[in-house]
Amino acid sequence: MFFAGGGMLRYTRYFGCEGDSAPALCQYGLTHYHDWEQQIHSWQDQILQDGNLPDWYKSALFNELYFVADGGTVWLEVPSDAAEDELLGIGAKDLPGMKSILQEYGRFAYLEGQEYRMYNTYDVHFYASFALIMLWPQLQISLQYDMAAAVLTEDQKRVKYLMDGSRAPVKTKNVVPHDVGDPADEPWQKLNAYVIHDTARWKDLNIKFVLQVYRDFHITRSSSYLKDLWSICKFDVDGDGLIENSGFADQTYDGWVMTGPSSYCGGLWLAAVCVMCHMAEILGDSAIHEKYSTILSKGKEAFEKRLWNGDRSAAEQDVKNPPKNHANF
């Protein structure tokens, strides 16, 4: 009933942690599964019976929820006497609302997949997070607090990164980690099980964090969450207002080399700068609002100047004749 990352599994809150927990849990499942099936049918039928929606959309909408359980999911109970610098992580002391959120809703993690044994792989969690915030919003909030605390931590142990043979620290302070660890190790305590690239140099992790903070606030309207994570969101840029790739695979497409401005990272960047302006306005931070408004204006101009050639014909042709094999896109 204990997990390698610390803490007891979440079901112990309801079924205890003594030797009779498993029979009680099984009995509860066997006497309630009919109700659960009916609730699932009622939930899904709203979509499945909608004749205006194509079948492929219905299939994708429900089947892609597999990530929550298929690769491996863990949900932990956080005890009331949890030490902030042990179970919660060093960065927790700078996040006033973190402890109460984790104690109320637990600590949640899922694997990227069965072959990628890493919890909460953040570059792709960016996409999966929509299911969490829409269906289980407080699990997404809990996960975000964990990630914010991880941003503030560091691990100066140097490792060799496989792609280029370089050596760098496991975790650099003030950058979003790639993941919160390997389930066979000490998740949340030992970050970044991924060692193909030094992800401290990746361009999309930090901005994906910013976008999720605002998206989550917009859905939950939790002002305490926004205030806690606001300081983590602040970041600096170079002069032209547009993020640039560094000439290696420095983003989630870790086999693709990108150099200079890119539509992928640049688009995410401008969106993140835009929501920084919105968050600054909500929180009454006029200095930050002015700073990022200027960056946004310059960035949009640079984005169009450097990444748009003015030829609409290719884009229009793609819309008229989409590729047949959607699996490759």
Over the stretch 1-22, which tens digit does the pLDDT of each residue have? 455 545 688 988 999 888 788 8
Report which of 289, 288, 237 is spatially closest to residue 266, judged by C-alpha positions: 237
What value does the CA radius of gyration of the chain take, rounded to a whole number of Å? 22
Report which of 124, 119, 123 is spatially closest to residue 185, judged by C-alpha positions: 119
Phi and psi at 221, nearest 5°, equal 60, 30
Q: Is the pLDDT of residue 325 over 50?
A: no
Whether the CB-CB separation of 216 and 133 falls below 8 Å is answered with yes
Long-range contacts for 9-13 (Cβ within 8 Å, ≥24 apart)?
9/74, 9/75, 9/76, 9/77, 10/75, 10/76, 10/77, 10/106, 12/77, 13/77, 13/106
Whether the CB-CB separation of 110 and 119 falls below 8 Å is answered with yes
First to last CA, the chain: 41
DSSP state of 19: T
| pLDDT at residue 234, rounded to an integer | 78
DSSP string, 99-128: HHHHHHH-EEEEBS-SSS--BT-HHHHHHH
The model's pLDDT over 291-310, given as tens digits with 9 standing for 90+, comes to 999 999 999 999 999 898 88
Confidence of residue 315 (pLDDT cuts 50, 70, 90): low
Q: Is the pLDDT of residue 157 over 70?
A: yes
In whole angstroms, give the CA distance from residue 295 to residue 53.
Answer: 40
In whole angstroms, give the CA distance from residue 224 to residue 2.
Answer: 31
Q: Please give the average per-residue pLDDT across 143-155, as a whole number.
A: 94
| pLDDT at residue 79, rounded to an integer | 78
| pLDDT at residue 317, rounded to an integer | 65
Q: What is the pTM of this model?
A: 0.88
Q: Is the pLDDT of residue 136 over 80?
A: yes
Helix (H, G, I), strand (E, B) or coil at 274: helix
| pLDDT at residue 310, rounded to an integer | 80
In whole angstroms, give the CA distance from residue 273 to residue 299.
Answer: 9
In whole angstroms, give the CA distance from residue 5 to residue 106.
Answer: 13
Residue spans of the domains in the chain: they are: 1-21+64-235, 239-308
| pLDDT at residue 324, rounded to an integer | 52
| pLDDT at residue 86, rounded to an integer | 58
Confidence of residue 326 (pLDDT cuts 50, 70, 90): very low
Phi and psi at 295, nearest 5°, equal -60, -40
Higher pLDDT, 319 or 42: 42
Q: Please give the average per-residue pLDDT across 93-98, as a whole number.
A: 89
C-alpha distances out from residue 204 to 174, 211, 212, 256, 313, Å: 14, 11, 12, 14, 29
DSSP string, 63-105: HGGGGGTSS-EEEEE--TT--IIIII-GGGGG-TTHHHHHHHH
| pLDDT at residue 328, rounded to an integer | 33
| pLDDT at residue 61, rounded to an integer | 84
Q: Is the pLDDT of residue 208 over 50?
A: yes
Q: Please give the average per-residue pLDDT across 109-115, as a whole number.
A: 86
Q: Is the pLDDT of residue 311 over 90?
A: no
Percent of the chain with pLDDT over 90: 63
